[in-house]
Amino acid sequence: MQSKTLIVLLMVTMAVATESPVLQQLRNKLAQNDNYNSQLVELLELSLAGGQLDKVFELLQKMVDDLTGQINAANLDHASRMAAFESSIEQLEANLASLSSEVQSNNRKIGDITQAISTLTSTSVAVKKQLETINQREEQIRDNRQREVQALETKQSAGAKILAALEDIHDRLVKAVLSNTGSFLEESEKQEMIKQVKKELGRTHPLALLLEFSSKFDEATAKRAIELIEQIIASIKEGQVNRESNQTAVEENFNSLVNEVTVVRDKLQQDNQKTTSALKNKQNDLKITQRRNKQLQQNEANTQQLLETTRVQKDLYDSNFRSNASKREGQLNSLKTALQILRDNEQALKK
């Protein structure tokens, strides 16, 4: 009850409260154990005792109007607060749905990235293996070449040694043929020559056999030996030249093999670089997406929590409102009942 109303009621109050059937009726209808009603009955008793019935009607009517106004205002406020709750809840539900669909699409994205990483990883392993193979291949080509060069050097230097020995024998024979008139080469010199030829050309070489088995090492034999030596020298020289010129072709072949290997290796190295950098990017993507998803899931949980809290708040507010509303309805009914009783007994009270 408003204090202004209370003061006015008190102003019309007289000191003595008299028992009357009307007041008895009011007490029966209203008093009970309701605080508001017992205050109302008390005030009406005091006011009626003062005898200003018209004023009492007027005030009661004003109280009814005030309370009705309050009820209407509270209903409007309730409607707008409930609408605000509904709208918050709808907004939170929409946020939750969009967060959850974003989490799902991020999960799919994480799956795709993981798949791509696995593919790239096996590609990377394969490319690295190919690189290793091509490097081994190049090493093998270079080793082979090295061995060829060494074999050639060995052959050429052996050839050169034989040539030098044969040229020496040749010169001695020529000198002997030119200068000799009677006895020919000393037996010891002949034996030394045979030994040298056997050593350089082998013990069954025709030249060795010719020198060894000639019964007489005369001028004719020497001339045949010189001829034979000249043929052998020419053939060894030809062999040396052939080997040298063959090396040009071998060298070209080697270079083209090395070039092929280099081209393949360059391409593999590019592939390797591309794969490695793609892998790095994907791993980075994965980290970012996982971090983002963690954040989204956190937001989702927070939104869910807020939604539940808002629903609870809404229910609590609504039930508080209903309890307040039912109190106000009760007060309004009490006022109306009091007014009705007073009207019904207006004549009696005026006496």
Type of residue numbered 67: L
Structure tokens at 52: 């200003």
Q: Which of 165, 250, 264, 307 touches ligand NAG by CB under 6 A? A: 250
Minimum distance between the CB of residue 2 and ligand NAG, rounded to whole angstroms? 13
Structure tokens at 130: 């190919």
DSSP state of 205: -
317 binds ligand NAG (CB under 6 A): yes
Q: Which of 324, 326, 333, 340 touches ligand NAG by CB under 6 A? A: 324
Type of residue numbered 348: A
Q: Quick check: 232 and 197 in contact, CB under 8 A? A: no
Q: Which is nearer to ligand NAG, 84 or 288 (CB)?
A: 84
Q: Which is nearer to ligand NAG, 36 or 321 (CB)?
A: 321
Minimum distance between the CB of residue 317 and ligand NAG, rounded to whole angstroms? 5
Q: Which of 55, 243, 274, 311 touches ligand NAG by CB under 6 A? A: 243
* Rounded Cα distance, 129 and 346, in Å: 113
89 binds ligand NAG (CB under 6 A): no
Q: Which of 144, 146, 235, 242 touches ligand NAG by CB under 6 A? A: 242
Q: Quick check: 202 and 208 in contact, CB under 8 A? A: yes
Closest by alpha carbon to 3, among 11, 244, 17, 202?
Answer: 11
246 binds ligand NAG (CB under 6 A): yes
85 binds ligand NAG (CB under 6 A): no
Contacts for 322 with CB less than 8 Å, ≥ 6 apart:
none
Residue with tokens 């082979």: 144
257 binds ligand NAG (CB under 6 A): no
Closest by alpha carbon to 184, among 194, 171, 195, 175?
Answer: 175
* Rounded Cα distance, 114 and 168, in Å: 80
Minimum distance between the CB of residue 321 and ligand NAG, rounded to whole angstroms? 4
Q: Which of 57, 85, 184, 321 touches ligand NAG by CB under 6 A? A: 321
Binding segment for ligand NAG (CB under 6 A), chosen from 35-43, 44-52, 211-219, 316-324, is 316-324
* Interacting residue ranges for ligand NAG, rule: CB under 6 A: 242-243, 246, 250, 317, 320-321, 324
